[in-house]
Copies of this chain bind each other. A is one copy, B any other.
Amino acid sequence: MAPRALDYESLNENVKKVQYAVRGELYLRASELQKEGKKIIFTNVGNPHALGQKPLTFPRQVVALCQAPFLLDDPNVGLLFPADAIAKAKHYLAMTTGGLGWSVEGAYSDSRGMPGVRKEVANFIERRDGYPSDPELIFLTDGASKGVMQILNTIIRGESDGVLVPVPQYPLYSAAISLFGGSLVPYYLEETENWGLDVNNLRQSVAQARYKGITVKAMVIINPGNPTGQCLSEANLREILRFCYQENLALLGDEVYQQNIYQDERPFLSARKVLMGMGPPMSKEVQLVSFHTVSKGYWGECGQRGGYFEMTNIPPKTVDEIYKVASVSLSPNVPAQIFMGLMVNPLKPGDISYEQFIRESKGILESLRRRARMMTDGFNSCKNVICNFTEGAMYSFPQIRLPPKAMEAAKKAGKVPDVFYCLKLLEATGISTVPGSGFGQKEGVFHLRTTILPAEEEMPEIMASFKKFNDEFMEQYDDRGGYSRL
């Protein structure tokens, strides 16, 4: 009998090609072990609330009131909610079509998101960068990933269209490029230069791709880096933008970790601010799409699925096309739009809940900073492990220098060496990481990615447990030399 439409043999080949290690073999095995009753520390995804981070109180109060607006008519509402949360809820409820308070969360919004929230996003960008931003060029999305996917789908026409992606990279990019049938053009970040980006590498990558007949159409940067944690300097961003201008590439700026900065030398700078600062012709020509989210920062509201993208130098006809396709799935979810509004337009000194908001958000950020340090130091104390400091984002990406015997054992087990190592780590300690091969790495070098998100008080024990496993692993497969390394 012929295979049926949804038998594996019949499926879209691009779907089959997609790889997404963050929820791949390691995650599936960890889920199994959890079902069997083993305690698992899920550090595979940047999912702060799942690891014990409490949400900020104020935005949750506001969104709860928007979900249950009838509470606003209850004389007891003031017993459970502060006055500024009530006022903010009324502010968002008033944004709805026709002024029907209850409909704000229950109705589809405009497919680009509520105009009022998009205006708040534009004001935030203007305050952050010092250049005006147009709400008509800001689209709200169900998380940043959905926005990235839509833009890549808009750009990619077929396999001869290429997109420059950093290696190592967050596998959303490789997955989406596979799904839409394009070609990933890798450029390597330099581990020995603290994961810095060398424009000469970019030139080489583009030249090689063109030689293969690929039209390179766009470049992705992740700043701060995922999984690599580096922050791009202004000089580096200028070089990248100039390169995009010279080579006629659109720049996709994944800036979802812009609030997660753990050093003072390189504060976050948006690609847009740097571009605007460069003046014409570049500031008028380079096409840039920037992405942000409510899932990261000190918010960590991953489950809400809220994000936005902002378009710079994108012609109106293209914006219309993007709007049209966004309309097919009607609208991003409305509660997350309100979270986005609250994130970009936070409480101000003098507001009743301000002190609490600052205490909570500072507490989270300072703890992340300490944890970034604890993790880097912990990894560097382990045998055959070296790790750059996490300057930003939420991840540590240590290099694991594997002995030849371990690589042989991996081969025998039919596993990539770092998958082999991470599986052993999972079985021994319950720590669920993602092998470096899921992000890309230079040939013959191995890594793992872990989030810095486990609770601070558990961190010493986790790192001790990691060290014990690693050092025993290295002992077990000890050898005279020939270790994997740069």
A positions within 8 Å CB-CB of B: 2, 4-8, 10-13, 15-16, 18, 20, 22-24, 31, 42, 45, 47-52, 54-55, 57, 60-61, 63-65, 67-68, 70-71, 74, 76-77, 79-80, 96-98, 100, 102-111, 142-143, 145-146, 149, 153-157, 171-172, 175-176, 179-180, 217-218, 248-250, 285, 287, 289, 295, 300-305, 311, 313-315, 317-318, 321, 324-325, 327-336
Contact = CB atoms under 8 A, between A and B. Distances in A.
A155 B303 contact: no
Nearest to A109: B303
Nearest to A334: B303
B153 A12 contact: yes
A22 B327 contact: yes
A10 B55 CA distance: 43
Contacts of A13: 157
A2 B248 contact: yes
Contacts of A76: 76, 79-80
Nearest to A1: B248
A5 B248 contact: yes
Contacts of A110: 31
Contacts of A63: 67-68
A257 B331 CA distance: 19
Contact of A153 (B15, B106, B111, B146): B15
B325 A179 contact: yes
Given A5-B217, A68-B64, A100 B49 contact: yes
A146 B325 CA distance: 12
Contacts of A77: 80
Given A6-B318, A67-B63, A328-B179, A142 B18 contact: no
A7 B171 CA distance: 26
9 contacts: A4-B250, A4-B287, A11-B155, A23-B330, A52-B100, A57-B70, A60-B68, A106-B302, A305-B330
A50 B103 contact: yes
A148 to B, nearest CB: 9
A22 B10 CA distance: 32
Contact of A145 (B109, B179, B328): B328
A303 B157 CA distance: 32
B250 A105 contact: no
A418 to B, nearest CB: 20
B330 A145 contact: yes
A70 B23 CA distance: 30
A324 B20 contact: yes
A372 to B, nearest CB: 21
A155 B318 CA distance: 28
A335 B80 contact: no
Nearest to A332: B305
Nearest to A110: B31
Nearest to A218: B5
Contact of A64 (B65, B108, B171): B65
Contacts of A314: 6
Nearest to A314: B6
Interface centre among A48, A57, A100, A106 (most CB of B within 10 A): A106
Contacts of A303: 103-109, 331, 333-335
A154 B11 contact: yes
Contacts of A302: 106-108, 330-331
Given A60-B67, A336-B333, A50 B100 contact: yes
Contacts of A143: 329-330
B80 A71 contact: yes
Nearest to A55: B106
Given A105-B304, A303-B334, 9 more contacts: A2-B248, A4-B250, A23-B111, A48-B107, A52-B100, A67-B67, A74-B80, A305-B330, A305-B331
